[in-house]
Structure 1
Amino acid sequence: MRRNHVSKTPRRWIAPIAAVSIVGFALAGCSGGPGTGGGGESGDAESNVVTVYGTISDTEAELLEQSWADWEKANNIDIKYEASKEFEAQIAVRAQGGNAPDIAIFPQPGLMADMAKLGYLKPAPDAVKKNVEDGWNEDWANYATVDGTLYGAPLMASVKGWIWYSPSVFAEKGYEVPTDWQGLLDLTAKMKADSGNAPWCIGFGSDAATGWPGTDWIEDLVLRQSGTEVYDKWVSNEIPFTDPQIASAFDEFGKIAKNPEYVNAGFGGVDTIVTTPFGDPATALVNGTCSLHHQASFYDGFITDAGGKVAEDGDIWAFLMPPFDATSGSGGSVVTGGGEIVAAFSDSEATQKVQEYLSSADWANSRVKLGGVISANKGLDPANASSDILKQAITILQADDTTFRFDASDLMPSAVGSGTFWKGMVDWVNGTDTAAVLEQIEAGWPSS
């Protein structure tokens, strides 16, 4: 999904039904578990057909299929890909009903972990384990690991926290890229004063997944303001949403998102944030009605589709959200990011061969050459990326001094990460008191 880097559907799709599905899994586990209806029944374990299910759709799905087409022919394996906007809810239903795909491309490690803990997924075969050891650092491997067992491998990736802007406007007005969070707030105030217009455009709209762009803001701010230790403990609920350190991130975001002087450029006021589709600000950036927008590296595709050239000397460029305090940190980039984990419900020979290929540097380079996406695979050549911003993102992911953390809501249990957290962002930006919202989000955490 393009929240991470692909199609013009969001990075993750889920509604309250997904939480119901997970509860249903737990009940099924109490009455005998997954049984024999798990992976592999949607494809013939004895044939060369391997079914793959994911969220990647539209043009990006076509490119995905193109990326493995030559390998299919060479290995006499037919990969049948199916995209769904309701992946998070339907993967639960299908696994429980014995109609799981051979392979699933999970946009959320937390959801993959749910499936693994309930016994639906197969541990990664040895060839995949080796590819993961060779191609990814320990943090990325951990995102595919549940209770000490590796179940999958990372696929594509994105770097989040980019602030998109017009280089020509910055040059004309003498604006400089800020070096800390207060500098970004000061820049916002200066832009408002100079033009009389709201500088920022924000869109939370994403059908059943409305609210996710707001979670990205909070994650970026928690990591930059409070550091990795707090971020990691927040992900595991050792630090709850109601903690003052998390509340502070909401307060800081509110200085922009809840200020009618600063939003919502090209769309209206604060009340339009929830109803503005997350892809629409790309057009506002290109036509000049919006000056600043926060979104991941995948957004360069949206800007290109809107008619803009993404380049340092082009129509639109981007800088990373600055550190909270310019004097702190190691000097390297501090970023959040996302991606997918490929895991299998089947352990057929053909399925394992597909898993091995998708976890290889060969596949990563094949897909990245086709444009629009990146990978954190260490065997990926940044020169294969289709744009300068994507090349920069790959360089950041591969740098030894980068502080990287996976999207927190994707790591949390789906009832929270794609449930109460998304809904909480909607309620919060629509005016609900921060303390009440944080209590509501925290209430989504499973009791055990």
Structure 2
Amino acid sequence: MSLRPTKRRLTVAAAGVLGLTLTIPLAACGGGGSDKASDAPKIDCEQFKQFGDLKGKTISVYTGIVTPEDTPYIKSYKPFEDCTGAKVKYEGDKAFETQILVRAKAGNTPDIAIVPQPGLLKQLVDTGKAKEAPPEVAANVDKFWGKDWKAYATVDGKFYGAPSGASIKSLVWYSPKEFKDNGYKIPTTLDELTALSDQIAAKGKKPWCAGISSGEATGWPVTDWMEDMMLRLSGPDEYDKWVKHEIPFNSPAPTAALDEAGKFLKNPKYVNGGLGDVKSIATTTFQDGGLPILQGTCSLHRQASFYAANFPKGTKVDENGDVFAFYLPGKTAAEKPLLGGGEFNVAFSDRPEVKAFQIYLSTDTWANLKASLSQGWVSANKGLDINKVSNPIDKLAVQLLQDPKSVFRFDGSDLMPAAVGQNSFWKQSTSWITGQSTQDTVNNIESSWPK
């Protein structure tokens, strides 16, 4: 499994480079933090007494989450510090995803790392430096998360870390006012989504807008489209086989998934609303892709919850506001496949104070405290009180994560080898948008898979 930045982190960085106004902080990245500590649940100090006297002990945390997103994390650790007398030393590093592996191989590990990809987690386990999670952490994860989340932190049958934050990608942005004025209904199946697209197109309007330009990472939004369609048409088991290359990239199921994405993205009757023709998708930045919704020249834009940050300052992101999002529906109304990302707390020490801190981070108590201190942070922890979440789009994400019918799968290209997920998949997706056939596209990606 290759090491590389996740698409979530890539989008945050790109937004900063372009000087975009982040009016709504990014999901799963933390945020500017409020001081609503008085609203936080009380912490039970008794649970840590089994670890003895921890006063004066230090626990180091290493992560790619930096200022200002680090502030809510640091504040959320204080109740643990007050209970135990231990101190948590937080180190944020933009080069984390490269340096953590370097440090692990050199034996210079932190006590705990916040790891943003299952592939990187496995690489860290392969160094022999990562420690299995304490049984209390495993019990909390069994209680508060689904089996799919636990599986992402399990390597060769051993469990290594509780999930932390989460993000949701299976969303479609729209204008609530446009829907109300035209009597449009939120679709509950893929067929209904197609029917809605046809209904809008019949009025002489291009319903969909999109942009996939992202510097060296141009093409990545297409991979999200394909992953979502793979989950919807073929289900999570086949999706897992595809990501692991247990079935070829150019086998029937992935080919059908890209074709399904093409029914929307490459349909000249559907795209590119307010921006040009189909090929204009390749030259439109992903940050600009959904903005025509505000001008009324586009009605639908498939993008993750973090896209809220790309609308201009003052835009009301709410179900009764200027823009909002609905769940990208499954093949049937009963199915709830969910594409997204997340982070995991992995330890490199089994000292008592580190175990105690791991347990704290695996509780619903910590999840609620973290959410109450952050803007734009959510978790898949089932014990998270939705009232602790700061804004409507993140509340929608929590509702989807906590829906018992939801089946979560991690972003596929972030799990694939770098030669594919960070290279050929992006590049061939761009060629596909500009005219290359689906068959040539999946064939070319398959031929790039490391032997």
Taking structure 1 as the reference length, what is the TM-score of the superposition?
0.79
Say yes or no: does 1:51 pair with 2:55.
no
Which aligned pairs between 1:187-336 and structure 2 lie closer than 5 A?
A: 187-196=196-205, 198-281=206-289, 283-303=291-311, 306-324=313-331, 326=332, 331-336=334-339
Residue 167 of structure 2: which of 155, 158, 164 is its match? 158
Unaligned runs of 5+ in 1: 12-45
Give the drift of 1:214.
1.8
Counterpart in the other structure of 2:186: 177
Cα distance in 1 for residues equivalent to 2:330 and 2:190: 6
Structure-2 residue corresponding to 1:81: 91
The farther-off stretch of 344-353 and 212-221 is 344-353
Q: Quick one: distance in 1 between partners of 2:115 and 2:224?
A: 18
Moved more, 145-154 or 426-435: 426-435
Rate the CA distance shift 1:439–1:138 in 2: closer, same or farther, 3 A. same
Structure 2 unaligned regions, length at least 5: 16-55
Task: Check 1:185–1:377 CA distance in 2 against 1; reply closer, same or farther (3 A cut).
Answer: same
Q: Kindly report structure 1 stretches of 4+ aligned residues shifted beyond 6 Å.
A: none
Give the Å deviation of 1:354: 3.7
What is the deviation of 1:284? 3.6
Please state whether the residue corresponding to 2:238 is helix, strand or coil. helix
Quote the offset at 1:160 in angstroms: 2.5
The match for 1:344 is 347
Asked if 1:398 corresponds to 2:402, the answer is yes
Please state whether the residue corresponding to 1:52 is helix, strand or coil. strand
Q: Distance in 1 between matches of 2:274 and 2:353?
A: 50
Question: For the Cα contact (< 8 Å) 2:380–2:402, is it kept in 1?
Answer: yes
Secondary structure of 1:442's aligned partner: helix
1:421 aligns with 2:425: yes
Q: 1:434 aligns with which of 411, 428, 438?
A: 438
Distance (whole Å) between structure 2 residues aligned to residue 356 and residue 115 of structure 1 = 20
Q: Indicate whether 1:146 and 2:161 are aligned.
A: no
The equivalent of 2:122 in structure 1 is 113
SS of match in other structure, 2:305? coil
Q: Aligned partners of 1:280, 1:69: CA distance in 2, in Å?
A: 39
CA distance in 2, matches of 1:289, 1:101: 50
1:378 to 382, 385, 388: 382
> Cα 1:2–1:9, aligned 2, differ >3 Å: closer, same or farther?
farther
> 1:70 Cα shift?
4.8
Give 1:251 shift: 1.1
Of 117, 120, 124, the match for 2:133 = 124
Measure the CA separation in 2 of the matches of 1:346 and 1:443: 41
Distance in 1, Cα, partners of 2:447 & 2:129: 27
How big is the shift at 1:49? 5.0
Deviation at 1:293, TM superposition (A): 1.0
CA RMSD of aligned residues (A): 3.1
Distance, in Å, in 1 between the alignment partners of 2:303 and 2:396 is 15
1:162 Cα deviation after fit: 1.0
Residues 127-166 of structure 1 deviation map (CA, whole Å, 9 limit, x = unaligned):
4323322321222111100000111121111232111100
Inter-partner Cα distance in structure 2 for 1:90 and 1:423: 27
After superposition, the C-alpha distances for 1:378-426 in whole angstroms (9 at most, x for unaligned) are 2211221122333233233223232333323334345433443333323
Aligned mates of 2:79, 2:213 — CA distance in 1: 37
String of CA shifts for 1:264-300, please: whole Å, max 9, x gaps: 3444444443444433345443344432111223334
2:416 matched residue in structure 1: 412
What SS is found at the alignment partner of 1:410?
A: coil
What letter corresponds to residue 313 of structure 1 in structure 2?
Answer: N
Q: CA deviation at 1:59?
A: 4.0
Instruction: Measure, in 2, the Cα distance between the counterparts of 1:316 and 1:204.
Output: 20
Deviation, 1:445, is: 3.8
Alignment deviations for residues 21-66 of structure 1 (CA, whole Å, 9 cap, x no partner): xxxxxxxxxxxxxxxxxxxxxxxxx962513122x34543443334
Q: Once the 2 structures are TM-superposed, how far is the Cα of residue 338 of structure 1 from its aligned partner?
A: 1.9
**What is the match of residue 388 of structure 1?**
392
Single out whichever of 1-10 and 388-397 deviates more from structure 2: 1-10
> 1:160, 1:335 within 8 Å by CA — same for their partners in 2?
yes
Alignment correspondent of 2:30? none
Conserved 8 A contact 1:155-1:342: yes
TM-superposed CA distance for 1:246, in Å, is 0.8
Distance 1:180-1:133 versus aligned 2 partners, 3 A rule:
closer
Change (3 A) 1:400 1:185: closer
Secondary structure at the counterpart of residue 76 of structure 2:
helix
Instruction: Tell me how far 1:126 sits from its aligned partner.
Output: 3.4
Superposed, 1:57-96 pairs within 5 Å as 57=66, 59-72=68-81, 75-84=85-94, 86-96=95-105
Aligned-pair distance for 1:375? 0.8
Do the aligned residues in 1 keep the contact of 2:211 with 2:285 (CA within 8 Å)?
A: yes
Change (3 A) 1:153 1:49: closer
Deviates more, 1:73-82 or 1:233-242: 73-82
The alpha-carbon distance between structure 1 residues 264 and 346, as it changes in their structure 2 partners (threshold 3 A), is: farther
Whether the 8 Å contact between 1:77 and 1:350 is mirrored in structure 2 is: no
Q: Kindly tell me: are residues 308 and 263 of structure 1, through their superposed partners in 2, closer, same or farther at Cα, counting changes over 3 Å?
A: same
Partner in structure 1 of residue 43 of structure 2: none
How far 1:260 sits from its partner (Å)?
4.3
* Separation (CA, whole Å) in 1 of partners of 2:60 and 2:420: 32
Q: Find the residue that maps to 2:203 and give its secondary structure.
A: helix
CA contact (8 A) 2:376 2:389 kept: yes
Question: Does the CA-based 8 Å contact 1:416-1:444 persist in structure 2?
Answer: yes
Q: Among 365, 369, 373, which residue is 2:368 paired with?
A: 365
Q: Which amino acid in structure 1 is aligned with residue 307 of structure 2? A: Y
Q: Which residue of structure 1 aligns with residue 49 of structure 2? A: none
SS at match of 1:409: coil
User: Which residue identity does 1:143 align to in structure 2?
Assistant: Y
Match for residue 136 of structure 1? 145
Deviates more, 1:127-136 or 1:143-152: 127-136
